[in-house]
Amino acid sequence: MPTLEIRDLHVTVDEADGGTKEILRGVDLTIGSGEVHAVMGPNGSGKSTLAYSIAGHPKYTVTGGSITLDGEDVLAMSVDERARAGLFLAMQYPVEVPGVTVSNFLRTAKTAIDGEAPKLRTWVKDVKQAMDDLKMDPTFAERNVNEHFSGGEKKRHEILQMELLKPKFAVLDETDSGLDVDALKIVSEGVNRSLASTGPGVLLITHYTRILRYIKPQFVHVFVDGRVAEQGGPELADSLEETGYDRFLTRA
């Protein structure tokens, strides 16, 4: 079974004043395919840093530890190689790419990931179906990537990519933030469709438990101050809902 394994990961960022700051301080996580792991933690605890570090964002420097995908050294791969190896990051703040249409972007990405251009006819149908499922207007295909998209539209567009690119492991960074209840359901259904069809491992980063009503995690990790402070099953999320992160913070 494909496994994404993060061992004792230490990550720093360069600060404006020229210094460096350690943000991840020994993260351990193992995710099997088909599993949903929720990572919950307060603002600034390093959740996005973990997500970006898995994807290979150049701003983050890995100073220790390892990330492996089926034993392959992910840290040795470039950003695009990681994606082609089956990693996917749905970003907390998706980036606008002026002048590049969604349809061109999706086709280019699909071609890159599969190593060959998708068959035109089935591809057009698949895109249409996936957009339809996510209640995205067909006109989005001809709009520029994320340009003038609302927060919710950007998140749908991320999940659209997840459904079409069919990664082995997906990191969803606060995909629930900025979504109203209806949009939250639509987006969650998209993730569940992916789980049912291709069964990726999912690292679901969130602040609140509400998305966990629609996407059921088998594992919950509490993330505090750059590392996993506690882990458990779905019941851990419920207790967090009641007590918040305070008991972890005061202990830290």
Partner 1 sequence: MTAVDETTTDPAAGSPVNTARAHSHGAGVVPDASRAERVTSFDVADFAVPTGREEEWKFSPLRELAPLFEAAPAGSAAVEVSGPDAVVHRTGTLQEVGAGTAFTPGDRAAVTGWAATAQAHLVSVPAEAELDAPVLVAVRGTAGTTTSGHLVVEAGHHARALVVISHTGSGAHRGGVEVRVGDGADLTVVTLQEWDADAVHVGQHDVLVGRDARVRHIAVSLGGKAVRLSTNVRYAGPGGDAQALGVYFSDAGQHLEHRLFVDHEATNCKSYVEYKGALQGDGAHAVWIGDVLIRAAAEGTETYELNRNLVLTDGARADSVPNLEIETGEIVGAGHASATGRFDDEQLFYLQARGITPDEARRLVVRGFFASIVERIGVPEISERLMTTIETELAATDLAGTSSTEEN
Ligand X SMILES: Nc1ncnc2c1ncn2[C@@H]1O[C@H](COP(=O)(O)OP(=O)(O)OP(=O)(O)O)[C@@H](O)[C@H]1O
Q: Judged by CB under 6 A, how many residues of this single chain contact ligand X?
A: 16
Tell me the C-alpha distance between 113 and 90, whole Å.
16
Strands (E), 33-96: 36-40, 60-69, 72-73, 87-90
| H/E element, 58 | none
Interacting residue with ligand X among 12, 33, 49, 206 (CB under 6 A): 49
- Report in angstroms how near the CB of residue 18 gets to partner 1 at its nearest: 13
Interacting residue with ligand X among 4, 9, 11, 23 (CB under 6 A): 23
C-alpha of 131 from chain center: 19
| H/E element, 99 | strand 97-101
- Report in angstroms how near the CB of residue 100 gets to ligand X at its nearest: 26
DSSP 101-162: EHHHHHHHHHHHHHSSPPPHHHHHHHHHHHHHHTT--GGGGGSEETTT--HHHHHHHHHHHH
CA dihedral sign of residues 222, 166, 159, 12: positive
| CB closer to partner 1 out of 63 and 243 | 63
Question: Of Mg ion, ligand X, partner 1, none, which one sits near residue 141, judging by CB under 5 to 8 A according to partner kind?
Answer: none
- Report in angstroms how near the CB of residue 91 gets to partner 1 at its nearest: 7
> What is the binding site for partner 1 (CB under 8 A)?
55-58, 76-80, 82-84, 88-89, 91, 94-100, 104-105, 108-109, 112-113, 144-145, 161, 165
Interacting residue with ligand X among 33, 45, 103, 161 (CB under 6 A): 45
Residues 100-159 binding ligand X (CB under 6 A) are none
| CB closer to partner 1 out of 83 and 191 | 83
Closest-CA residue to 40 (of 248, 224, 214, 210): 224
Is 175 a binder of ligand X (CB under 6 A)?
Answer: no
Q: What is the DSSP letter of 56?
A: T
| CB closer to partner 1 out of 165 and 220 | 165
The residues of the shown chain that bind ligand X, judged by CB under 6 A, are 13, 15, 21, 23, 41, 43-49, 59, 92, 174, 207
